[in-house]
Amino acid sequence: MYLHNKNNMRHFCITNKKKQKTSIFIFGQWVFWPIVVIVLLVIIFILPAYWSVINFDQL
């Protein structure tokens, strides 16, 4: 009985940890994707301007 209970507790802990990880993962994605989009937009908009400034200076 005691061993069975111990296994149940362990199983419950594992399932609980998995749930926490998935919620953190989803939250991480919600934070992660807007940052990626912003960084990509910054690279797309700033890099061409930056390169044109460098090339203009060299001319």
As a whole number of angstroms, the distance between CA 19 and CA 4 comes to: 23
User: DSSP 3-state assignment of 22?
Assistant: helix
As a whole number of angstroms, the distance between CA 45 and CA 14 comes to: 46
As a whole number of angstroms, the distance between CA 7 and CA 13 comes to: 10
Amino acid at 48: P
Amino acid at 53: V
pTM score: 0.39
Domain locations in the chain as residue ranges: 1-59
pLDDT tens for each residue of 1-49: 445 555 555 555 555 566 666 666 666 677 788 888 999 999 998 888 8
